[in-house]
Amino acid sequence: MPGFEVFGAEERKQVNDVLETGVLMRYGFDGMRNNHWKAKEFETAFAKRMQSNYCQLVSSGTSALTVALAAAGIGAGDEVIMPTFTFVASFESIMMLGAIPILVDIDDTLTLDPAAVEAAITPKTKCVMPVHMCGSMADLGALKAICTKHNLLLLEDACQAIGGMYDGKPLGSYGDLGCFSFDYVKTITCGEGGGIITNSEKYKLNSDHYQDHGHDHVGTDRGAESHPFLGYNFRISELNAAVGLAQLDKLDGILKTQERNYHIIRETLSQIDGVTFRRVPEGGEENYSFVNFFLPSENLAESAHKALSENGVDACFYWFKNNWHYINGWEHLRNLKSLGNLSSEVKAQMQDLNATDFSKSDAWMGRTVSSLVKIGWTESQVRDRAECMKKAILSVL
Ligand SMILES: *Cc1c(COP(=O)(O)O)cnc(C)c1O
């Protein structure tokens, strides 16, 4: 997955463009910047690549989620449905706005179970936030039907699945808003950065203003701009955007290499009786950044993961235990440990996460092992790795 593996002269050239003018900010300083507008250029190119009308760059994937929710008018007491298997940014971004994360089960797609989503809807629900974990997607068709029926916003977290497709559309472009991360370990990186895509002019304008203190960005005198509503600072710097611009050119090449490496591993593992694969919804195509597979039981998955590591296979994950991506690892959320007081809405409306039954999620996560797909592996290195994985897994079955 990580785009830093192919870091090179292109990134240096883009960054030097910015360093030579000294204008590290994405707005203003028109006379000094020698016509370099790296953030703007990235936004135009990314919107086009993602077949969307608009892109807004921000400082991280987490801020992309925050700004997207804010742009759609989500605020205190609004409920946002999210999965039990995700990165912590999901609930962080929701709670940042005083809104309430409602956690629901995942299914064999390792993403939101549409039936669990529908069962969790209340009069306060405003948004469904599927997270396309580990390179593959939620059942977006089913989720969109639920959102349409209940008049809810569909916000895709595509941070881990950039370049994947669903129903002929790039992931992130199917819902009302889509969010991406360009942090250091993502498929393409800005160092730190994030992006929002949408076809809605209103959401684009709202996010443009919100991520820059409410500035309306009209005219050429920043100090004289008006501020139609309250905002914050979630801006990306021109230096980070410059790195991303070089990486964006490499995206399709990265995806192709991932796909080749993915298939070599998958074909080898599919020769093992007892190994099955995560379901990809009909009409979906993964971005091939991970191979995700199930063992027949929780015990076997845990021992397979241990055997993989003992056999020197790196970059394999057992998310169910000792990890940051599943509700089991979120003791701070389950017990609402915050530095200051949480809003009264959060205190009143939060599920009791220590008492909620997530056995359906446990049943899938307990059996799941994931292997990262790296870009730097040569074909023969992947073949060796795949054989080594097969041997390690067979040793516990
Ligand atoms: C990485 C990631 C984020 C957050 O991105 P940052 O840029 O690190 O803030 C959000 N959601 C998912 C699924 C991620 O993997």
pLDDT at 323: 80
pLDDT at 294: 98
pLDDT at 281: 98
User: Which residue puts its alpha carbon closest to atom 2 of ligand 1?
Assistant: 159
pLDDT digits (tens, 9 = 90+) for 273-324: 999 999 999 999 999 999 999 999 999 999 999 999 999 999 999 999 978 8
Please, are residues 105 and 86 in contact by the beta-carbon 8 Å criterion?
no
pLDDT at 1: 65
Q: State the catalytic residue, choosing from 126, 186, 204, 250.
A: 186
Residue of 62, 112, 325 to mutate, ligand 1, most atoms within 8 A of C-beta: 62
Please, are residues 120 and 349 in contact by the beta-carbon 8 Å criterion?
no
Query: Which atom belonging to ligand 1 lies closest to the Cα atom of 131?
Result: 13
Residue 70 CA to residue 86 CA, distance in Å, equals: 20
pLDDT at 220: 87
289 C-alpha vs ligand 1 centroid, how far in Å?
15
Q: Which residues line ligand 1 (CB under 6 A)?
A: 60-62, 86-87, 89, 131, 157, 159-160, 181, 183, 194
Query: Which atom belonging to ligand 1 lies closest to the Cα atom of 183?
Result: 7
Residue of 93, 111, 171, 181 to mutate, ligand 1, most atoms within 8 A of C-beta: 181
CATH number of 252-394: 3.90.1150.10
Which tokens sit at 382? 């992947």
Which phi-psi region, left, alpha or beta, contains residue 197 (left: φ > 0; alpha: ψ -120 to 50)?
A: beta
In the numeric block, the tokens 């936004």 are attached to 43
Is 186 part of the annotated catalytic residue set? yes
Q: How many residues does the chain have?
A: 397
55-75 per-residue burial string, b: 16 or more CB within 10 A, e: under 16 = bbbbbbbbbbbbbbbbbbebe
SS3 call for 353 = coil
Please, are residues 319 and 368 in contact by the beta-carbon 8 Å criterion?
yes
Read off φ and ψ for residue 153, nearest 5 degrees.
-80, 140
196 C-alpha vs ligand 1 centroid, how far in Å?
12
Query: Which atom belonging to ligand 1 lies closest to the Cα atom of 60?
Result: 7
pLDDT at 217: 96
225 C-alpha vs ligand 1 centroid, how far in Å?
32
397 residues of the chain, pLDDT tens digit each? 688 888 999 999 999 999 999 999 999 999 999 999 999 999 999 999 999 999 999 999 999 999 999 999 999 999 999 999 999 999 999 999 999 999 999 999 999 999 999 999 999 999 999 999 999 999 999 999 999 999 999 999 999 999 999 999 999 999 999 999 999 999 999 999 999 999 999 999 999 999 999 999 999 899 999 999 999 999 999 999 999 999 999 999 999 999 999 999 999 999 999 999 999 999 999 999 999 999 999 999 999 999 999 999 999 999 999 788 999 999 999 999 999 999 899 999 999 999 999 999 999 999 999 999 999 999 999 999 999 999 999 999 9
Nearest residue to 198 via CA among 186, 213, 180, 182: 180
User: Which residue puts its alpha carbon closest to atom 14 of ligand 1?
Assistant: 159
Secondary structure letter of residue 339 according to DSSP: S
Residue of 67, 69, 87, 372 to mutate, ligand 1, most atoms within 8 A of C-beta: 87
pLDDT digits (tens, 9 = 90+) for 72-87: 999 999 999 999 999 9
Q: Are the folds of 3-250 and 252-394 the same?
A: no
DSSP 58-111: ES-HHHHHHHHHHHTT--TT-EEEEESBS-THHHHHHHHTT-EEEEE-B-TTSS
Query: Which atom belonging to ligand 1 lies closest to the Cα atom of 194?
Result: 7
324 C-alpha vs ligand 1 centroid, how far in Å?
12
In the numeric block, the tokens 């969010």 are attached to 179
Where in the chain are the domains? 3-250, 252-394
Tell me if the domain spanning 3-250 has CATH number 3.40.640.10.
Answer: yes
